[in-house]
Amino acid sequence: KAALDKALWRRSMQLHREQQAWQKSSEGQKMLESRRSLPTNKEKDAILNAISKNQVVIISGETGCGKTTQIPQFILESEVNSLRGATCNIICTQPRRISAMSVSERIATERGEKLGETVGYKVRLEGIKGKKTRLVFYTTGVLLRRLLVDRNLKGVTHVIMDEIHERGIDEDFLLTVLKEILPHRPELRLVLMSATLNAELFSSYFGGAPVIQIPGVTHPVRTYFLENILESTGYKLTEDNQIDDYGKAWKSNKQALNKRKSKIASAVEEALGSADFSEYSQQTQDSMVCWKPDCFNFNLIEYILCNICENEKPGGILVFMTGWDDISSLKEKLQAHSVLGDESRVLLLTCHSSMASSEQRLIFEKPDSGVRKIVLATNIAETSITIDDLVFVIDCGKAKEASYDALNNTPCLLPSWISKVSAKQRRGRAGRVQPGECYHLYPKCVYDAFAEYQLPQILRTPLQSLCLQIKSLNLGSTSGFLSKALQSPDLRAVQNAIEYLKIIGALDENENLTALGGYLTMLPMEPKLGKMLVMGTLLNCLDPILTVVAGLSIRDPFLTPLEKKELAEAAKAQYSHDFSDHLALVRAYKGWKVAEQKRKGYEYCWKNFLSAQSMKAIDSLRREFKSVLRDIHLVDNKMTNYNTYSCDDHVVRAVICYGLYPNVCSIAHKETSLSLKTMEDGEVSLHSNTVNARVAKIPYPWLVFNEKIKVNSVYLRDSTAVSDSMLLLFGRSISSGDVDGHLKMLEGYLEFFMAPEVALMYQTLKQELDELFQS
């Protein structure tokens, strides 16, 4: 070991010398200069000093001050210089895989090295790391998974957690786990880095750990809210600036605007014409959720962009959108525009978590002179990616947020209003290099109603996956462990999660992980979808199940444009003659795949009212899920277990039932309509999105469904009809071996619905089942 250490040390010294040589070159000098000019550099000694004296240190500073790229390097360099270099082993976590990859690449470039020498990264399914690697960027999820097999992070000398202000559920969980580990590993150092907000919270969580504030340089940013933007177009407001006055003012000013007929006026007219201001009139959170400003925003964004390009000083523009779908539709719209689509004048780029790394690099490049850079981004550009030459920011005020509907016990990812802190961050992006301008596409009064901070994810998502992780890490009782978190979730939410995990067979009666539960912890998706994949592999029908699971992970790929509702429904109906939305998707995807191979994917989607983006997303998710299954040895490399013989629809239906249980409703036929009931809600209705909402008769006694939504009554979305035997055999996890419990529960179920013909069927099946289990 001593010899190995010595050899490694010699190599790292050699690397150190090479790096010094590179730094002397002109390219290296330039890079070094720009690094030295970053605000973090001034605090270098203070930071290193604090880390050597304290086990936990918190560093907070403005986005772009150099935390992510510089601080890990400070630690690395000081370790190399202190002769401990050969043994230092630094892990830095990032909440997103794209930042783990891009930051490690950036640092390697700054050091004049290739990725995989001193610096590497490790994200799910991918990683670059060599023998000499001392600093590795992980996604939080990957570090959590490492803890499964390496509880005390053996050999790791420093853990740096970046972007902790985001308060994702994984980050909060990791913080709690690390806090437990620290006393057992006195030499381990923990560095927490955050944008400038509530650093004190983290400090007090770690017993008053020191906080180092990095002073930032920011330039003033001129701020416009919606009312100011509209005013600047010659659009007069009434005195008290009330929002519902926009509607009225719009009507009375319409004639005046019409007269001007300028380009601006017609753009605004178009924008306003499609907005419904009545929903603006209340400032409550409720009305904010109702506001559907998308097409309004698109026109307005186009107008503002055009105005900046034609009349304002040079400088890049950053547009904050909610997600990839919005970004790509807006991009299409802008590309068709005479000014904004002109490549000799505008460099139009996108920035979101699923972009390729070649695309990423473009964002940082300076455009040719006379060309204006426009970046359409998600909230990833808020704190984790810093683009330098920006002067203008357009903020739509929303971000996709994972939330938890306790009623459904299902998570959803919906655009919702950002917090005041986020709005401030977005605004700040405009003032990094010179005075800038920020356009908020919402009125000041809506901004005033924003929450100060966003609620941490642990308080607003279902805890099923988290509870599974706690179990798999052997961290004791879930509620006991979670009471030690930075902010503890509601006990009821924990109980809900445990109850659910028991029902689906991931935990046994004593809350111990079952074999199935063990697999579910290794699958990075909701437990119900993980269950489908596991059973899909066992029953050799993985191919259709991959499509179902991928389809349920994204938004509905079947489009229903309001004006063509009937045509769209008819298009979906051609795939769904057998009472299942899930099987309809399997067929639609198959059809698309065939068309896509002939390069006719778009036409196929257009004709059949499918979203081409969703189809592509399904395609790539399927590949991703397949490799996860390979990683955990559920399928082998050659995929011999993959779709070999059984793609029987009945089997697929049964697997869907296995995953969606306990979301079951009974079907009874009335004269002309269906009567549907669930055990918890009684009478329920079908949401218009499911094919089963449009049939008079369903030749099956049960429906399993994806989720329910409570509006006035309870509506079920995405359903598949299943038979008695499917529900009986697949309705509860049989892997738990709890046959008695299974039967008892079913009995209760059937009694509740009291359908005599079903009870009779059940008797026969029960006998069959008893025999089956005895044999």
Positions in the binding site for ligand ADP (CB under 6 A): 38, 61, 63-70, 102, 106, 364, 386, 388
Smallest separation, CB 751 to Mg ion (Å): 58
DSSP line for 179-220: HHHGGG-TT-EEEEEESSS-HHHHHHHTTS--EEEE------
For 70, 101, 363, 394, the CA distances from 218, given in Å and listed in that order, are 19, 27, 21, 18
**133 binds, options Mg ion, ligand ADP, none, Cβ within 5 to 8 A by partner type:** none
Closer by beta carbon to ligand ADP, 366 or else 710: 366
C-alpha distances in Å from residue 504, one per residue of 1, 478, 658, 724, 745: 48, 17, 9, 18, 12
By C-beta, is 68 or 461 nearer to Mg ion?
Answer: 68
Q: Shortest approach of ligand ADP to residue 397 CB, angstroms?
A: 22
- What minimum distance in Å lies between the beta carbon of 365 and ligand ADP? 8
DSSP string, 72-122: HHHHHHHHHHTT-GGG--EEEEESSHHHHHHHHHHHHHHTT--TTSSEEEE
Asked whether the CA dihedral 626, 628, 630, 633 is positive or negative, the reply is negative
* Binding at 454: pick from ligand ADP, Mg ion, none (beta carbon under 5-8 Å per type): none
Residue 179 C-beta: closest distance to Mg ion, Å: 23
Residue 134 beta carbon to ligand ADP: minimum distance, rounded to whole angstroms: 18
Whole-number Å distance between alpha carbons of 509 and 14: 58
Chosen from Mg ion, ligand ADP, none, partner binding at 449 (C-beta under 5 to 8 Å by type)? none
User: Residue 38: which of Mg ion, ligand ADP, none does it interact with, CB under 5 to 8 A by kind?
Assistant: ligand ADP
Of 74 and 280, the one with the shorter C-beta distance to ligand ADP is 74
Q: Which residue lies nearer to Mg ion by CB, 193 or 691?
A: 193
Distances from the Cα of 346 to the Cα of 80, 305, 454, 622, angstroms: 45, 10, 34, 36
Q: Which does 66 bind (CB under 5 to 8 A by kind): Mg ion, ligand ADP, none?
A: ligand ADP
**Which is nearer to ligand ADP, 164 or 523 (by Cβ)?**
164
- Chain residues binding Mg ion by CB under 5 A are 68
Q: How far is the CB of 738 from ligand ADP (least distance, A)?
A: 50
By beta-carbon distance, which residue lies closest to Mg ion?
A: 68
- Beta carbon nearer to Mg ion, 68 or 203: 68
Closer CB to ligand ADP, 288 or 381, in the complex: 381
Residue 330 structure tokens: 């807006």
Q: How many CA atoms does the CB half-sphere of 10 hold within 13 Å? A: 5
Min dist CB 103 to ligand ADP, Å, is 7
Which C-beta is closer to Mg ion: that of 19 or that of 99?
Answer: 99
* Residues facing residue 404 across a β-bridge: 411
Rounded to 5°, the CA angle 690-694-699 comes to 90
To the nearest 10 degrees (0 to 180), the angle between helices 67-81 and 2-24 is 120
Shortest Cβ 68–ligand ADP spacing (Å): 3
Question: Is 63 or 690 the residue whose CB approaches ligand ADP more closely?
Answer: 63
Q: Which does 65 bind (CB under 5 to 8 A by kind): Mg ion, ligand ADP, none?
A: ligand ADP
Distances (CA, A) of 209 to 60, 94, 201: 13, 21, 10
Among residues 68 and 409, whose Cβ is nearest to Mg ion?
68
Ranges assigned E (strand) in 637-673: 664-669
Q: Which does 95 bind (CB under 5 to 8 A by kind): Mg ion, ligand ADP, none?
A: none
Q: Are 478 and 494 in contact, with CB atoms under 8 Å apart? A: yes
Q: Which does 64 bind (CB under 5 to 8 A by kind): ligand ADP, Mg ion, none?
A: ligand ADP
Q: How far is the CB of 388 from ligand ADP (least distance, A)?
A: 4
Whether 481 and 430 have beta carbons less than 8 Å apart is answered as no
User: Residue 589 class from Cβ within 10 Å (0-12 exposed, 13-18 middle, 19+ buried)?
Assistant: buried
Question: Which does residue 719 touch among Mg ion, ligand ADP, none (CB within 5 to 8 A, set by kind)?
Answer: none
CB of 429 to Mg ion, least distance (A): 13
Which of ligand ADP, Mg ion, none is residue 507 near (CB under 5 to 8 Å by kind)?
Answer: none
Q: Say how far apart CA 322 and CA 572 lie, in whole Å.
A: 28
Specify the residue, 96 or 587, whose C-beta has the smaller distance to Mg ion: 96
List the beta bridge partners of residue 710.
Answer: 714
d(CA 15, CA 494): 50
Rounded to the nearest whole angstrom, what is the least distance from the CB of residue 64 to Mg ion in the complex?
8
Which 3-state string (H, E, C) describes 516-573?
A: HHHHHHHCCCCHHHHHHHHHHHHCCCHHHHHHHHHHHHCCCCECCCHHHHHHHHHHHH
471 binding partner (options ligand ADP, Mg ion, none; Cβ < 5 to 8 Å by kind)? none
